[in-house]
Amino acid sequence: MTTTPDTPAQRAFTAPGTNIENQAYFDAAREGRLLLKHCAGCGQYHFYPRAICPHCFSEDTHWKESAGQGTIYSFSVMRRVPQPYAIAYVALDEGVTVMTGLVDCDFDQLAIGQRVRAVFRPTDGEATVPAFTPA
Ligand SMILES: [Zn+2]
């Protein structure tokens, strides 16, 4: 996975707010890696990153690198704006669903169930964010 700059035709991502629970996530994104939180207590992944597992309330959570592969669970294309864009829920192969942007694709060819892979985009701030593109 690599970080590639937006082409002029693509909408810039807004920088996310970072905090102690998600800083490692955004630091990894800057390196082109997608991290997920995994709970040693119940064996499940969760998203958004949290220090305490939302499934079993264990504090025994750890970062694991995602393969960055998934399928589109749902999506919406925003067209009545100066720079059209697509947002989606992507169900990762690890079992969590992430809200994200879809980039480098023909919005008319997107489909629920389509395979996608993670790519990384700069924001209008310092952070880099994961986005997805058709696999
Ligand atoms: Zn748990």
What is the number of structural domains in the chain? 1
Structure confidence by residue, pLDDT tens digits, 29-39: 999 999 999 99
Q: Is 12 contained in some domain? A: no
Q: Which domain holds residue 94?
A: 23-134
pLDDT in tens, 60-118: 999 999 999 999 999 999 999 999 999 999 999 999 999 999 999 999 999 999 999 99
pLDDT for 5 equals 43
Nearest-5° angle of CA 72, CA 73, CA 76? 80
CA of 92 to the centre of ligand 1 (A): 18
Ligand 1 centroid to Cα of residue 63, in Å, is 13
- Report the distance separating Cα 81 and Cα 94, nearest Å: 34
Residue 1 within a domain: no
Spacing, Cα 51 to ligand 1 middle (Å): 11
Query: Is the residue at 16 inside a domain?
Result: no
- What tokens were used for 17? 């707010």
For the domain that residue 92 is a member of, what is the CATH number? 2.40.50.840
The verdict on residue 44 lying in a domain is yes
In a domain, 72, yes or no: yes
| 96 domain-assigned | yes
What distance in angstroms lies between residue 72's CA and the mean position of ligand 1's atoms? 25
pTM of the model: 0.89
CA of 58 to the centre of ligand 1 (A): 5
